[in-house]
Amino acid sequence: MMAAGRAAERGAKVLLVEKTYRLGSKLLLTGGGKCNITNSAEMQDMINAFGENGKFLYGALTVFSNKDLIDFFTSRGVEMKTEPDGRVLPLKGRADDVLAVLRKYLKENNVTIQHNRTVKSLNNIEAKKIIIATGGKSYPATGSTGDGYKIAKQAGHTIVPLSPGLSALISNNFFIKELQGLTLKDIAISVIIDGKKKYEEKGDILFTHFGVSGPIVLNLSGTIIDALANKNKVEISLNLRPDFSPQDFASFGSKTVSQYFKKNLPASLSALFEKLCSKTSNKKCSIVTREERKIIAAYLTDFRITIIRSRPIEEATITRGGVSLKEINPQTMESRLVKGLYFCGEMINLAGITGGYNLQEAFSTGYLAGESAADV
């Protein structure tokens, strides 16, 4: 929508071909329906959010930054608010308001829209310039079924292998279902690959019936998915009691280990730890041996969860992989292989962390692609 609107605003005659019966179905799902359109981060932090590929975005973000995007919506009547973590979303928390602005943008600039039409090859369209903005493979019910990658491949482009991005993770630990529904806030999480600690972050984690999710898990999922693809053993380590010390533990005196767990852990974790430490759970804290205390400390400060795979790509927030960056001009979004062909959004091999960065990438590359395609 941004690509089509900007091209038409620059004076081009634009046809937008939409696979489904309506525009913006996936947009309505973002941010839990609140649509966090971007993040207030500075340019370099925005670039860093996409890892080593982020520098590709300098051109697009220079032409259409997060500040430009916010102005785009506020000037059209949608007030924005910025959350403490930098996420920017509509003041009223409605993705519908964002979509309404984009639809009006298309209408005002006389963009012709064809619904319920699937493009299977570039030969299906007669045009001087073509922008492929079909999104990734996640949430296929919204129309994102990976069609654009097939078309790009037909045109001779290299497609970096696709995988889930910002994905929940599956564990085979017996205790997972016992912890279902538990959320731990601002907790230290480490990724352990083949027994070695590789990454550590702090954030919120949610236990589900299949494994773990939550913002920090989504951000770490790419690294974990790559490690699993290389046949590495992957575990997540949680530091549940960073302030644990022998003195603190011993201070519980005549109270039992079970009582200590109940005092310091959520109910479901406390019940689990009582099972895991069944030999000592009824012992008084003051008489627990050094070896027993080491075992308890390990559970509290290095609680391991084994990860066996991610949820399928269809359930992922975004798609990792896509058209190789080497084959796209970052100053225009035009193909380096096919003159007059442009790419934007999830079509491109860019995947950012959660927090509005990926929508900003879509809007910025879409804006630049539309502007470039209309520049005769």
Per-residue pLDDT at 376 exceeds 70: no
Q: Which helix (H) or strand (E) holds 197?
A: strand 196-207
Q: Is 186 left (phi over 0), alpha (psi -120 to 50) or beta?
A: left
Give the chain's mean pLDDT.
95
Work out the pLDDT band at 248, boundaries 50, 70, 90: confident
Looking at 10-19, 239-248, 296-305, which range is the least confident one? 239-248
Q: What is the mean pLDDT of residues 79-102?
A: 96
Count of CA atoms in the C-beta half-sphere (13 A) of 355: 22
Looking at the chain, the whole-number percentage of residues with pLDDT higher than 90 is: 93
Residue 71, both tokens: 């102005």
Nearest to 334 by CA among 300, 369, 361: 369
The 10 Å Cβ neighbour count of residue 375 is 12
Q: What is the mean pLDDT of residues 349-367?
A: 97
Task: Specify the pairing of strand 234-239 against strand 303-310.
Answer: antiparallel
Separation of alpha carbons 134 and 151, rounded Å: 10
**Looking at this protein, which amino acid is placed at residue 321?**
G
Q: How do residues 301-348 score in pLDDT, each as one tens digit?
A: 999 999 999 999 999 999 999 999 999 999 999 999 999 999 999 999
pTM given for the model: 0.93
Angle between helices 267-276 and 290-301 (to 10 degrees): 140
Q: What is the mean pLDDT of residues 182-194?
A: 96
Residue 25, both tokens: 């179905």
Domains and CATH numbers, the chain: 2-163+319-374 (3.50.50.60), 169-310 (no CATH)
Work out the pLDDT band at 4, boundaries 50, 70, 90: very high
Residue in the structure block whose two tokens are 């995947």 = 351
Q: What is the mean pLDDT of residues 100-108?
A: 98
Contacts 24+ apart (CB under 8 A), 141-148: 141/25, 142/20, 142/25, 142/26, 142/29, 143/18, 143/19, 143/20, 143/25, 143/26, 144/26, 144/319, 144/346, 145/19, 146/319, 147/19, 147/118, 147/119, 147/120, 148/343, 148/347
Q: What is the mean pLDDT of residues 154-173?
A: 97
Strands of 80-82's sheet, edge to edge? 38-39, 87-90, 80-82
Per-residue pLDDT at 276 exceeds 70: yes
